[in-house]
Amino acid sequence: MESVNIFTGKQICIIGTGGFAREVYCCLEDIFKYKGVSFDNKVVFSDVDSCENDVVVMGQKRIPIIRESDLDVYQYVLFVAIGDSMLRRKVVEKYPDDVQYATIIHPTAVISDYATIGEGSIVTANCVVTCNINIGKQCHLNLNTTIGHDCEIGDYFTTAPGVHISGICNIGDRVYFGTNACVKQGINICDDVIVGMGSVVVKDIKESGIAYGNPCKIVSNVKFMGGETDSVIIGAGTYGEVYLSYLKEIGINVIAFMDNNPKLYGTYIKGIPVVGSEELLETQEWKDKVANVFCPIGNNPLRRKILGKVRSLGYRTPCFIHQDSIISDNVDISEDAVYILPDSVVMPYVIIEKDCMVSMNSKIAHHSVLKEGCFVSTGVNFGANIFADYNSYMGIGSLIMTGVKKLGKDCLIGAGSVVIRDVEDDAVVVGNPAKVLKYKS
């Protein structure tokens, strides 16, 4: 299964100098010892020109690092030891198609004769790959990974240690499994998914993004790999601080807050700078820095306006769905800027359009619709078969009874109100039962 013979001829060049690259070095050393072949001067490393070191230290050994600009890829057999699947692909794609890649199989790995493993891949110590399995190119199987029978696995696939994938699974390109993740038999997972450590996958994952938990589910459609988690939060208030905490939990790298309050510029929120207003996103500097924009502000028209603008500038506006929310099957949630916080429940056949926010411990009953820009505050109980029009705002602890048919555009339901009849456009209603207090226009 080796794409080239690593025991004779050219030196092996490990691309990357991080922890995994050093583990690859150890794996190669084990292979050469097992074969009884000299390992002296067999391996070099390569890294970007900005790398500060000239050697990689392995115990008493000092292995040279070749700068990227000085690397003649045709003089070596290459192995790309970069754990991030997207970055790994970018490195491979910048090299000519006819360069040679090593496929590395540790002596303690158990590989069926009826399995195929693509070029440039590595199977590390104590992994098990059983029968009728096809694994794509440039894949990394880390320590103690097991893959059951009849699996089809795409290119640039990566597992951390202790991953277990049962039989008859189909897994797409650039999928990453965190440590001790498990996959039930017969599961399908699409391209560009990261499965968090310890997750248990019992249902198909049909959309790209970040998924974790037991049972595992998508919590954000951020593209996790290749530096594409770099994000900003618009709104530097306490709600923005809450979202910073949640986004950090799932590995999203927030690099800045933006806000239209000049008094906040130059301050920090939990170590993250407030750099200016969202107008900065119009500059090329920020287009080069940032992939994703989150805008968890409670003003519905303003949130929609900002999110629409940043999408027009080419930024992504991903969803965030907390793992402790309960989202039923057969729920239609937009891929753009839907935020659902912990302990909320969304029942079957609900439609939630883009730029909506559902706060903690709220419940949305079956067959209801939230149009663009709706805000559901903490503890709201939203009945069945109700249509909430654009920018509807439901205050804390409000109850919208089943039997209500429509909440009008830009309406506001006061905190603790009990709504038993339809609400008109622009109406502000309060009380139990809720009555019109005024109209916004």
- 354-402 tens-digit pLDDT: 999 999 999 999 999 999 999 999 999 999 999 999 999 999 999 999 9
**Last residue within a domain, chosen from 220, 254, 277:** 220
Q: Is the pLDDT of residue 221 over 80?
A: no
Please give the single-letter amino acid code of residue 313.
L
Instruction: Report if residue 364 sits inside a domain.
Output: yes
Backbone Cα Rg of the chain: 26
Burial class (CB in 10 A: 0-12, 13-18, 19+), 23: middle
Q: Is the pLDDT score of 84 beyond 90?
A: no
pLDDT in tens, 289-321: 898 999 999 999 999 999 999 999 999 999 999
Judge if the upstream peptide bond of residue 301 is cis by omega within 30 degrees of 0: no
* pLDDT band, very low/low/confident/very high, at 242 (cuts 50, 70, 90): very high
Buried b / exposed e across 119-129, counting CB within 10 Å, b at 16+?
Answer: bbbbbbbebbb
C-beta separation of 140 from 159 below 8 A:
yes
Which residues, including other chains, have CB under 8 Å from residue 215's CB and lie 6 or more apart? Answer: 200, 201, 202, 203
4 assigned to some structural domain: no
What confidence tier does 208 reach under pLDDT thresholds 50, 70, 90?
Answer: confident
Catalytic member of 140, 149, 322, 367: 149
Same domain, 384 and 342: yes
- For residues 308 and 327, state if they share a domain: no
Residue 109 sits in the same domain as residue 94: no
Nearest residue to 12 via CA among 157, 120, 125, 142: 120
Whether the predicted pLDDT of 434 surpasses 50: yes
C-alpha–C-alpha distance, residues 137 and 269, integer Å: 42
Q: Domain check: are 268 and 250 in the same one?
A: yes
How high does pLDDT run on average in the chain? 92
Which residues make Cβ contacts (< 8 Å) with residue 110, sequence separation at least 6? 127, 128, 129
In a domain, 21, yes or no: yes
CA distance 35 to 202: 41
Which residues in 263-346 belong to E strands, given as ranges?
268-269, 272-276, 292-294, 320-321, 326-327, 332-333, 339-340, 345-346
Q: Flag whether pLDDT at 54 surpasses 60.
A: yes
In a domain, 210, yes or no: yes
Task: Tell me how crowded residue 322 is: count the other CB atoms within 10 A of its CB.
Answer: 20
Q: Is residue 3 part of a domain?
A: no
Q: Please tell me whether residues 216 and 250 are part of one structural domain.
A: no
User: Would the pLDDT of 21 be above 80?
Assistant: yes
Tally of domains in the chain: 4
Whether 149 sits among the annotated catalytic residues: the reply is yes
Q: Are residues 363 and 407 in the same domain?
A: yes
Residue 226 lies in a domain: no
Distance of CA 111 to the CA centre of its chain: 30
Q: Specify the pLDDT at position 222.
A: 67
Distance between CA atoms of residues 333 and 203, nearest Å: 18
pTM of the model: 0.74
User: Which distant-in-sequence residues (6+ apart) come within 8 Å of 288 by Cβ?
Assistant: none
Q: Residue 159: which domain range?
A: 105-220
Residue-level pLDDT at 8: 65
Residues 370 and 408 in one domain: yes
Name the domain boundary from 220, 244, 275: 220
